[in-house]
């Protein structure tokens, strides 16, 4: 009883995990996986495998593409442009700080990658799905 508040405080830290996301696998304009669920304290490691891309948060609908430099917040994120070259595959690590949905896309080509469906969702919901976000991006 006395110790349960402490246990609850420590549990999320103890269970924190990393999720790996490939960026541009097989020269594609893709994030693999293109959506994930994560909890506070988890990390997302984006590995940039080909070309020159970014992962940058943006709005769910409306002016989705291109995402603005710096990303859309609160608690948004932006890797900046990261170019892979041969065996040099840069990474960007984001530590999850809330359970809100975050929608991200690539800034490259003035939004052309984003409009081609280079999109990603962290903690999408039943009302704000990855599929709908991606459709919004393609049509933005």
Ligand X SMILES: *[C@@H]1O[C@H](CO)[C@@H](O)[C@H](O)[C@H]1NC(C)=O
In Å, how far from its chain's centre is CA 130? 11
Who's near 13: CB < 8 A, 6+ residues apart?
41
Q: Token pair of 84, please?
A: 């892979």
Who's near 101: CB < 8 A, 6+ residues apart?
60, 121, 122, 123, 124, 125, 128
Judged by CB under 5 A, the residue of 22, 53, 57, 133 near Cu ion is 53
Judged by CB under 5 A, the residue of 56, 82, 113, 137 near Cu ion is 113
76 is an interface residue for ligand X by CB under 6 A = no
Site for ligand X in 83-122 (CB under 6 A): 83, 108, 117
Span near Cu ion by CB under 5 A; candidates 1-9, 12-20, 81-89, 108-116: 108-116
The contact set with ligand X (CB under 6 A) reads 34, 52, 81, 83, 108, 117, 134
The contact set with Cu ion (CB under 5 A) reads 53, 106, 108, 113, 118
């Amino acid at each position: 009883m006395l110790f349960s508040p402490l246990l609850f405080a420590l549990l999320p830290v103890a269970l924190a995990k990393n999720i790996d996301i490939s960026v541009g696998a097989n020269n594609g304009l893709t994030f693999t996986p293109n959506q994930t669920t994560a909890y506070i304290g988890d990390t997302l490691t984006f590995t940039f495998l080909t070309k020159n891309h970014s992962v940058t948060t943006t709005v769910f609908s409306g002016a989705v593409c291109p995402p603005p430099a710096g990303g859309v917040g609160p608690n948004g994120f932006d890797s900046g442009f990261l170019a892979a070259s041969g065996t040099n595959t840069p990474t960007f690590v984001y530590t999850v700080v809330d359970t809100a949905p975050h929608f991200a896309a690539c800034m490259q080509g003035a939004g052309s990658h984003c409009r081609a469906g280079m999109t990603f969702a962290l903690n999408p919901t039943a009302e704000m799905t990855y599929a709908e976000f991606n459709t919004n991006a393609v049509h933005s």
